[in-house]
Amino acid sequence: MSKDSILGDSPSGTRPGPADVVPGESRSRDPDGSDEPEPDLSVARDVPGDAERAFHRGRLYGLLALGFERPDAELQSAIEERAFRSDLVASARAVDGAVAERARAVAAAVEDAPPDKNEWVSLYGVEEGVTVSPYELTYMPGPLMTNVRKLADLSGFYEAFNLEIVPGKNDRRDHLCFLLEFLAQLAFREASLRSHGDEEGVAIVVDARRQFIEAHLGRWYWRFTDAVSQRDDGFYAALAELLAAVLEDEIDRLELDPDWVPDDPQVTEWTEDVFGDSGRGCGGCGVDPQGADGFAASDDDAAGPADPTFES
């Protein structure tokens, strides 16, 4: 059975992605050689929601990922055709009123001054030292080896749903866009499963989303969005506020209680000072991106040669 990508279609597409949600048999391996168990995908019944709202939530996550990637031809085309703005506002409106308000602010920012590469590089690019880090480990407290295990946990989530990263994407697997696209795929699958009346499948993907947000993105998104807002007052600030609104709505709806990271996590991050030049292409991860992540190669539409993107 071939693996799927974490994002089923282009974020502005209309297909809700594959309905195969049965966790795989594989296990992630910790860098020290021990087995890292897959996430506990326990099933919670009576999950509130409907297929339409699940689809729009998935599209929102996908569009957020596209917006935070390095600007490329895909984003430019979506903006020029007004698909990015119209899809963003339409999906936000279907999810929640407060989310819709933030989406309209993003649409206005795009109309006023579309994002460009120089603006992106000044915030997130390694070319200028990464002013705002899009990597989860930057914000997580604890010793280095503890955070290495967090990468293994992320791999466990991806592999449990038979997903992999596109070849040539050298960013570390804790990149914000990877996390957003994983959430998008789970929501798309929820939409498909709901449309087929598969209550058990819905429970699996929604419970996985609960666990993923509580253990990962829900813990540190607020520090990322605060950092962006302090350094930008245009498109990326508006996009960061939309990200916060979407996650806060999700946390409230799913009754989550993520353990927020401290303002100063005191984590030993992978940097060239510690590990030399290795890993610069994957955000300073200190490892060979072709040999450490354990993701197999597959092919489909990617957003750009250096962008953190998943394929189908």
Which of these, 158, 174, 205, 175, lies nearest to 5 by C-alpha position?
158
Q: Break the chain into its structural domains and give their ranges.
A: 49-134+175-263
Integer-rounded Cα Rg, in Å, for the chain is 18
Which of these, 89, 21, 22, 90, lies nearest to 52 by C-alpha position?
90
Is residue 149 packed enough to be buried (19+ CB in 10 Å), middle (13-18) or exposed (0-12)? middle
Residues whose CB falls within 8 Å of the CB of residue 78, separated by 6 or more in sequence, listed in order: 12, 66, 84
Torsion-angle region of 172 (φ positive above 0: left; ψ -120 to 50: alpha; else: beta): beta
Residue that the structure tokens 């795989």 belong to: 24
Tens-place pLDDT, residues 196-223 = 999 999 999 999 999 999 999 999 999 9
Give the pLDDT of the chain (312 residues) as one tens digit per residue: 345 554 433 333 333 333 333 222 232 333 333 343 444 444 445 677 899 999 999 999 999 999 999 999 999 999 998 999 999 999 999 999 999 999 999 999 999 998 988 889 989 877 656 689 999 998 988 776 777 889 999 999 999 999 988 777 778 899 999 999 999 999 999 999 999 999 999 999 999 999 999 999 999 999 999 999 999 999 999 999 999 999 999 999 999 999 998 876 555 454 444 333 333 333 333 333 232 233 222 333 323 223 334 444
CATH architecture of the region 49-134+175-263? Orthogonal Bundle (1.10)
